[in-house]
A and B are shown apart, each in its own frame.
Chain A
Amino acid sequence: MLTFTKHLQLSAIVVTGLALCAHGAQAPQRIDIKQLSKTVEDVVVPLPNEIFGALNKLGAVNWKEHVRTDKGASFTERPRIALLLGTVIADGFVAVQAEDAPAVKEIGQRVLTLAKGIGVGNSITPHSKAIIEAADKRNWESVRQELDRTQNSVQQAMNEVHDEKLSQLVSLGGWLRGTEVLTSVVTKHFSADGAELLHQPDLLSYFQTRLQAMPEFNLPIIHEIQEALVDVKPLIDVGNARISPASVKKISEITTRLGNGIVTRD
């Protein structure tokens, strides 16, 4: 018994020691953010389901009413296809939340068509197939992962051929659709915590900066988005104050208008 107790004590010491070794030096409790300003990397734009996941935790959401599968118009302008591709991938995440297998499969096919239209179809074919197969098996985690991989592969393929601006438009399309759905849900069932999910001023600034650097994409929808972001900024950049129901409604109207603009011909 004594030996066992000693052994247990020794094990405890070893485990504690290992844990202490694994944990590194104490991090400072506070840092000067202004000092970091020169070394800050760009944001990784969150996936729509990152926001939807947080929204889900606030209460049941009827995701089915937000599922959208209409094919919309076909475009030849690459910036328009890129924006649409981003929104369609976001629609895929909505369909996963709703566990709507036929919608997911249709979206998987649509993503492939759009990717081909923009010249990156080859890198998307396996993902599109995987999305459809996983939807058939109702394996929602796999569908989510494949949607993330799809967006990543599209953007990597674009970056490889120096189409970074189109890649940014894919992110923007997804963010706009995600915000449209978020504000629609929160407008219907307002909560301060739900509205707080809109507190994304740095992300909005990031998109504004990127759009300003795209003067060659002289399209009405791009100008419309630029103007709309100017209107949205003061509604979400509220510091420590709360985002009001009126602001949420206004952002919902703006993003719905932009969403319609992205899927329909001028």
Chain B
Amino acid sequence: MTPFVKTLFCQVILLVMLGSFQPAAFASVDDAQSFALQAAEPYVKQGFQVREDYWGGDLGSGEKKAVRQQLFKGNEYWFWLGTEVERAKISVHIYDSDGKLAEEPDGWEKGHFAAAHVIPKATGSYFIIVSVEESPEERTHWALVYGFR
């Protein structure tokens, strides 16, 4: 094998290896966000305005994260959580500033999607608790988006 053919061979092998590792190596919070937005899609037709801004990060199995959010009485909110890890199980719940569960009973969890609904009884700070209940990955990306009407 000439040096040129050797180099070419190595480069091809490297590219094939990179290609096969791509989903795990390059998955990001942005991917998780696209799943959260996918969960939000049906609600746009119901008049919910989905914010462009979002929260995101990664969590291990069984880990939780709290997000503080200002909500206004008179509005209605949905929070949608997503991850790109299809076999992960995630959840999202909403508590008021006293730590009391504040969400409506129609929230849902479907594998790597979850959603929680709140009609605030008072204007103020609320805590949105996101959790990765189970996941085959060591760290699982998550993204949380919200909409209001």
Contacts and interface: CB of A to CB of B under 8 A. Distances in A.
A193 to B, nearest CB: 7
Nearest to A40: B66
Does more than half of chain B's interface fall in helix, strand or loop, or is it mixed? strand
Interface stretch (A42-50, A84-92, A219-227, A254-262): A42-50
A36 B66 contact: yes
Given A22-B110, A44-B51, A202 B127 contact: no
B148 A50 contact: yes
A246 interface: no
A152 B51 CA distance: 9
Contacts of A29: 100-101
B53 A51 contact: no
Interface residues of A, number: 47
Interface residues of B, number: 43
A39 B64 contact: yes
A144 interface: yes
A20 to B, nearest CB: 11
Contact of B52 (A36, A49, A148, A202): A148
Contacts of A27: 91, 93, 101, 103, 129
Contacts of A145: 49
A54 B70 CA distance: 13
B101 A28 contact: yes
Contacts of B114: 24
A33 B70 contact: no
Nearest to B93: A27
B72 A197 contact: yes
